[in-house]
Structure 1
């Protein structure tokens, strides 16, 4: 077996001289100008730019309300609170996600219950959800993994039958569509993340969209210490200065600096989405005939926002483990990654009593998957380099 760290030497130098990350933000002069302008405003937090950003996002996805937060995890925490999840309530979610999707259930005292994934889409399986619903189930947290929408119609029907809420973790899915509807206008509450590798960035930031007025009210309370100044919500009114703390909330507010960056990024969102889809299509065409890998499955009538592009390796054909392929691609200066370690396999969750073998499809996917670089600022040459690097590495191990 060759030393995979030296694989780039076989057949010559690496396909790239400079390392290409798997994801990266795109900040231009307009973004910098927008933040500078925000710095010159009288209010640089809890100011008017927050509402402008919220309105832009809700209008884009077709929701009635939007509430911005300091980050996506804070937004999900708030959604769990607004959904009324309390101690000993069960919430069904997917293990194939970043830990925040499950952690926020624990924050409010609930218990994460992990449903397995669909082996084609890698999204949470509606059939697996149905088997896990019981009298303690309070909500379902879905994840539009990689930007591909979940089976919203089936999941919402299940939720309606049992009277439970659906919170969509759409951190990957800004701009994705389920049939004719944008993600963000479908679930009871939907979270979008604005971390730097996401579709647009505010540095850190998140938002919840909803059509429910009561959820909107509770979300706004939760992000600001449980405090309100809105006259319609006050129990009494002692003067123009008066405010009330009506519940125990958190300081989860987004700043106007973040919102200003987000507003500027929104001007480029459609361009960013188009470029992501172009790159994904190039990968699909380039890799679809390679027997040793499986490209992402695309649901008919749904439009992925292509946050991530993940190939699945047929390791039995390659006769090496995933780490060998991973390290070999790194040696080609291709910044691959792995998304995700199933949440319940982390040591903290193991200490809570979760066991390996809980979701076999998710565990097998984790064993086989590699994430390739995908972000709008990639040049055509960057994309060609990734294609060349993957073909080089796969071909090498397929023939040795």
Structure 2
């Protein structure tokens, strides 16, 4: 059963699909598509999904306000305190819903990564599911690319689909197949599935903590809550970024894969790692992407301080490693300053071969030790 049930008018199916893809990329499971029902009683499955969902996002528009199905679903969710009404176009709400606080996304341009526009919706999902958004930078980037390739439409501008009768056999009528051949529908639908799979795999493999004393009790408590949620696979405490340890000088010298920063609640981003190639101090594309993702997530918050700790492996001398780790920390600092972070709030530290991520003897190349740890301290804007 899904975290989120999307209630919508059938003709607004592409808008619902785009919304479902976006919410999936932020880490929530979504049920929305009537046409996915096959060989089962239509009404009963809707009822089961509606009752099981933690949140019911109601997409209000000129069509849905006159839909008996949408009104019934919205009324049911409202009676259980699970309704999150959303305007996707300006409309007068039906009697009984006019006093409800309704999130206005009529002016949202549809950009999946626009967290400022989606802030109220994500906040409501966090409140009702008990789980903060877990945005996946790669899934959001892929989804945004598909959205732009389709002309970057806002929700009201997405084309109307055919009316689907509640008890019509799914995929049976030619008018439904016409929708399924839409390039935008295929692109977004496929990316939504990929996003869910990517998020599940990432949450299993991402380390729960980068520096043992870096995360305060509050953020650790939130993270433990996330790990024990039934909707999210628990993270393995021993997991590490995907990379094979290098234990001999002649082995492969590729850098470990940089993991996306983890956003455990608004304005709480766990410390994360940036990895470097052997004897390199410049940022690769993955490192830049991770830093950009952290800044994107921090956009609605005030950056109070940034602490950057450079590290190195044991292959070189301790003195040389200190210099390398200093330059790695400086590379991260310079990139953040280029992105608009005030230089005065950034501090750097070089630890060289101390505090190794993977304990090795001297003279060992280990990609997980070639890193910089980034700690962001944020607060909500006044």
* TM-score, normalised by the number of residues in structure 1: 0.28
Structure possessing the higher radius of gyration over alpha carbons: 2
1 or 2 for the larger relative contact order (CA 8 Å, sep ≥6)? 1
